[in-house]
Structure 1
Amino acid sequence: MRLAPGLRAEVLIMVEREDTAIRVGSGDVPVLGTPRLLSFAEGATVKAVQQYLDPGQTSVGTKVELEHLAPSPVGMHVEISAELTEVDGRRLVFSIRAVDKTGVLVGVGRIERVVVDRQRFLARQ
């Protein structure tokens, strides 16, 4: 299978103290910090397409829209899913959804990535 809409992946996490807004500097409450939610969501996008990229290719994030809708305390399990919804040449668009173990919608969003040649990308530094 090649890169095509419908590819998806899930990441199941348990909120740790290191994931809280206090720890990551994005707030002063002991709940899942938005930067960590974004990091887990990006990880899910990578996981969804990684095995379908050609050797030497990777994908890099280019655009994010994320709504963090509900708090998740330390110890809460949250499943973050990413589904590839659009492929436009090298541009990949993902739909993101995060739900906690009680069924509460924690976050929704959209992440765009671009497929690049790893060596050429790194040579641009």
Structure 2
Amino acid sequence: MRPTLIPGLQVQFSYKIPDTKTVPQLYPEAEEFQAMPEVFATGFMVGLMEWTCLKLISPHLDEGEGSLGTHINVSHQSATPPGLTVTVDAECIEVRGPRLKFHVRAHDGIGVIGEGEHERFVVTWERFDRGMQKKLQAVQQADSEEAGA
């Protein structure tokens, strides 16, 4: 991570909400979600906030680095129908080594729809992949032991 990633950096990102980002689309196999209104889903709003933070971070990463979301604490205050454009403002408010903290705020052109804080952790993808391989091996070993029992 480059030393240019500092508190105070800001970015704004806008996205027109399609029909595919509504509550029933979040988990199409979930009957409970199918009964809900077709408005911008909280899960997709969180993803849009993360995406905006990624846009802020990306010019400041070294080759082979990326970041992972580690914490989200946001409110979803207002429903947004498909067709409206949601704009997310993100500001880096803290850098502690590889741990980054952001203030995020989403607006749909009519009012604020969500706001809060998001944390990310900068990693090298090589190290992340090694950790995932260990986890997959542990699952395979557990499955193998269970099949032998």
TM-score range, shorter chain: over 0.9
Residue of structure 2 in register with 1:76 after alignment: 84
- 1:112 aligned onto 2:119: yes
Matches within 5 A, 1:15-94: 15-25=17-27, 27=33, 28-94=36-102
- Alpha-carbon distance in 1 for matches of 2:82, 2:62: 38
- 1:97 aligned onto 2:99: no
- Alpha-carbon distance in 2 for matches of 1:68, 1:46: 20
Give TM-score scaled by structure 1 length.
0.93
User: In terms of Rg, which structure is larger?
Assistant: 2
Aligned alpha-carbon RMSD (Å): 1.3
How far the C-alpha of 1:67 sits from its partner, in A, is 0.3
> Greater strand share, 1 or 2?
1
- Alpha-carbon distance in 1 for matches of 2:126, 2:99: 18
Unpaired runs of 5+ residues, structure 1, are none
Q: 1:124 aligns to what SS in structure 2?
A: helix
8 Å Cα contact 1:7-1:49 kept in structure 2: no
Percent identity among equivalent residues? Answer: 31
- Alpha-carbon distance in 2 for matches of 1:85, 1:49: 12
- Alpha-carbon distance in 2 for matches of 1:95, 1:31: 24
Residue of structure 1 in register with 2:15 after alignment: 13
- Alpha-carbon distance in 1 for matches of 2:21, 2:14: 14
- Provide the aligned length of Structure 1 versus Structure 2: 124
Q: 1:36 aligns to what SS in structure 2?
A: helix
Q: 1:45 aligns to what SS in structure 2?
A: helix
Runs (4+) off by over 2 Å: none
Q: 1:120 corresponds to which letter in structure 2?
A: R
> Greater helix share, 1 or 2?
2
How far the C-alpha of 1:68 sits from its partner, in A, is 0.3
How far the C-alpha of 1:99 sits from its partner, in A, is 0.7
